[in-house]
Amino acid sequence: MSRFLMSPKSAEPLRVRHRLVHDALILAALDPDVRAIEAAPVEIAGTPAPVDVIVLGRTDGRFVLDVPEAHPRDLDAAGLALLAIESLNLPTLSFPAPDIRRQPRWSNAVLVWDARAVRVPVDARVQVLAALAEAGTLTLHEAAQATGLVRGPVSAVLALACADLLAIDLDDGPLGPETRVRRIPSREDAR
């Protein structure tokens, strides 16, 4: 069963055949160190290979995403996948299932990702980003207050994380008022 995942870090929807790869991509989409997610078209002996290879562009380089539990069980398909990955000549970044499902990160990521379709008024976005530019980091409660919204201010902040505009600490405990939020430098700032 194929799923599609869209993120501001990918130029087009990514077709994903395995649930764990999909879930690893949600974590990558919310990871401020991941700057790009792309499907790598792979050819073997001049023929397009029928495998999904995802490349993560991180602040420390480009890596092929490897989810060991998603490896093909069929020997021919597994060999084809290995040849495809080797043809890219990139290091792999392994995301085993226990790392993907590690708590509280996974539960927090699901809560954040569920807000990805929330529409954030431009005024609220500007106010949150300005507050973060001034303070450096805010709590989730402070960032929600900075939106100026009466309805759904926390969901708006979570949606901004899905839009790759800010980072939310997913690892330090369940999401709550004290969860840390920081601005992600824009690609222009990084130059």
Q: What is the pLDDT of residues 83-132, one digit of tens each?
A: 777 878 899 999 999 999 999 999 999 999 999 999 999 999 999 999 99
pLDDT of 1 strictly over 70: no
Q: In terms of Cα–Cα distance, which of 92, 82, 88 is closest to 42?
A: 88
Task: Output the pTM of the full model.
Answer: 0.90
pLDDT of 29 strictly over 60: yes
Q: What mean pLDDT do residues 10-22 have? A: 91
Q: What is the CA radius of gyration of the chain?
A: 18
Of residues 16 and 37, the one with the higher pLDDT is: 37
Q: What is the pLDDT of residues 81-92, one digit of tens each?
A: 777 778 788 999
Q: Are 161 and 105 in contact (CB under 8 A)?
A: no
Separation between Cα atoms, residue 189 and residue 187, nearest integer Å? 5
Return all residues near 66 (Cβ < 8 A) that are at least 6 apart.
85, 92, 93, 94, 95
Q: Are 54 and 18 in contact (CB under 8 A)?
A: no
Counting Cβ atoms within 10 Å, is residue 182 exposed (0-12), middle (13-18) or buried (19+)? middle
pLDDT of 181 strictly over 90: yes
Query: Could you tell me the sign of the dihedral formed by the alpha carbons of 59, 10, 147, 130, in that order?
Result: positive
Q: What is the pLDDT of residues 37-82, one digit of tens each?
A: 999 876 666 666 556 789 999 999 999 999 988 876 777 666 777 7
